[in-house]
Amino acid sequence: MLAVTLLVHAAAHSRVQASWLAKVMGATEPTGAVTAKAGTGTLERAALYVRSLPAKPGSAVLAAEATQEGHWRFANKAGETLTAGTPQELARVATLLLPEANANVRLTLYITEDTVFQSRAALKDLPQSAEIFLIVRDDAYLLLGAAGGMFAEIRPGLIVELSERKVLEETVWQLARSLDKAQVRVLALEPGGPPRLASRPRIDPSTRQAMVDVIDPASLPAALGAVRGQTVLVTGRVDAHLLYVQPAGGAERSILLPDLFKAAEEADVNLMVLRTASTPRQPGGRNWLWQKVEVKGLEQAMQRPRLADFLSALVASKGPMKVSARPSGKRTAIEIEPADEFAGSRPTPVGGLVSGLVSEVTGRLIATGLAASMRSAERQQELDQRLIPGIPSDFQVGYLVLILLGLFGAPISRAWWQRLWPPEAASQYALRSGYWAARAVRGGAFLLLFLPLSALGAAPANLWRQGREAVTASARLWRGGERPCRPQAEVSACCVGGGAKGAD
């Protein structure tokens, strides 16, 4: 196991003006002379992204990075770079790196993560009219400024605060993950409903879409084990640690959210709790006007291929919503709430009352936020690396490495195996098929079990034996080249080498 351990460890683009001030640069140099520090947020990475963008007539696009010395470095699509340390140099960036652009062209800058998280103060030096995008992983997102801080727009209406690098990267990964609509289960929590969930959703024969699954609220935590690996969506009104639901008949019921999230973690389920402001009726039921209750935007969301687009269709219709994803081991807690930092995004009591009335009349549940417990990026990537489901990828990689290592010691381990399990004799079996079946079982046990288990001892032993034999063979060859002494009296010394064979 020690060897196994050692071997295993072996947005959318929209137009918004932010508050940036002015400065500029000088001295061009080829990218071959660039000596930016290595990492995922270097200027070279940003320049590659800019190079991949389609050409737009009249556009002025540059990659940019702030240095620890307080300077700015820019790169154009041709790979030419420019370093600027004064406002006068910054004013010349467009004319030097983009000679084909107009003098008053509006710059579009693509900056690195290092700039935002290590040299954020330098952003004030950029031209005030510049449109700035942040490159994260393989995409770029528009930067937005607000009184409360700095944000990146992942999708229209979905923004993430740039407070922690780890949170940003996890949020971007979570929102970029693909979403299989066949794996999304929409639940209606109805007291007295079925105590269990089917492993696969029921399909409406007319629409060919998944139907709403009804489940008793008290049975939901235990029932999540049947939908392991799937995405479950529930709706209700959240108050502190309680989720309130309104059944078709009777008073509201509540469920402890911590218990529900814990059950989702144990069942390895992606659980999303959609918060609603109105009476927490359940999808699939009927309101007081006998209209069918449904989640607003859910039908459109189910057609989206990625989680970001799914959530944008569900929760981003009422203005900017702030999303954050905080990983903790195998799970990530996702929170979506109104972005109060932007004017007009804070819900008012009157607005909430109107939304509630509209929801009651139309039968549509309007989301005001979302809380979710999802597989973390680390956990999902580990699952994706598995060749055999149910077995940790580290164990599988270690096992394959031991198999390969065991092949180097196969001659030794084979000899050990013959003592442990002697070869079969054909005379011991009445039928030839029985003999070959026994040989197949013995060979499979050797290859799949004994070979990797004995690899740590057999491989070094076989290498030692081969090395010793090579040294011995070399010595024999050297001695074989010596000529024995002749019996003639006149020869008093041994003659070494050069004589014909059998010169005695």
pLDDT in tens, 30-70: 333 333 333 344 888 899 999 999 877 777 899 999 988 88
Tokens encoding 192 = 């007295």
364 and 224 inside one domain: yes
Q: What pLDDT is stored for residue 319 in this prediction? A: 73
pLDDT over 80 at 254, yes or no? yes
97 and 135 inside one domain: yes
The span from the CA of 307 to the CA of 317, in Å, is 16
- Pick left, alpha or beta for residue 180 (phi over 0 → left; psi -120 to 50 → alpha; otherwise beta): beta
Instruction: Work out the burial of residue 239: count CB atoms within 10 Å of its CB; fewer than 13 is exposed, 13-18 middle, 19 or more buried.
Output: exposed
pLDDT tens readout for residues 455-498: 999 989 888 988 888 888 888 888 765 555 555 544 444 444 44
338 and 415 inside one domain: no
Instruction: Answer yes or no: is 125 within a domain.
Output: yes
The span from the CA of 447 to the CA of 66, in Å, is 56
Output the pTM of the full model: 0.71
The span from the CA of 368 to the CA of 420, in Å, is 68
Instruction: Answer yes or no: is 478 within a domain.
Output: no
HEC string of 129-154? CCEEEEEECCEEEEEEEECCEEEEEE
140 and 103 inside one domain: yes
Instruction: Answer yes or no: is 330 within a domain.
Output: yes
Domain range spanning residue 223?
181-382
Q: What pLDDT is stored for residue 355 in this prediction? A: 46
Instruction: Answer yes or no: is 499 within a domain.
Output: no
Q: What pLDDT is stored for residue 332 in this prediction? A: 95
432 and 327 inside one domain: no
**Cβ(131)–Cβ(59) below 8 Å:** no
Instruction: Answer yes or no: is 265 within a domain.
Output: yes
Q: What pLDDT is stored for residue 364 in this prediction? A: 61
Q: What pLDDT is stored for residue 201 in this prediction? A: 83
Poorest-confidence range of 38-52, 194-208, 217-231, 288-302?
288-302
141 and 261 inside one domain: no
> Which among 359, 382, 405 is the end of a domain?
382
Q: How far is CA 275 from CA 235, 264, 433, 501, in A?
A: 6, 18, 66, 97
200 and 325 inside one domain: yes
402 and 453 inside one domain: yes
- CA end-to-end distance (rounded Å), the chain: 61
Most confident stretch, 84-98, 296-310, 317-331, 437-451: 437-451
pLDDT over 60 at 218, yes or no? yes
Instruction: Answer yes or no: is 242 within a domain.
Output: yes
The span from the CA of 356 to the CA of 351, in Å, is 9
| Predicted confidence band of residue 417 (pLDDT cuts 50, 70, 90) | very high
Instruction: Answer yes or no: is 155 within a domain.
Output: no
3-state SS class at 354: helix
Poorest-confidence range of 167-171, 256-260, 357-361, 449-453?
357-361
| Predicted confidence band of residue 152 (pLDDT cuts 50, 70, 90) | very high
Question: What is the number of structural domains in the chain?
Answer: 3
Instruction: Answer yes or no: is 337 within a domain.
Output: yes
282 and 430 inside one domain: no
Dihedral sign from CA coordinates of 109, 115, 120, 126: negative
Residues of the chain by 3-state class (helix, strand, coil), percent to 5: 40, 25, 35
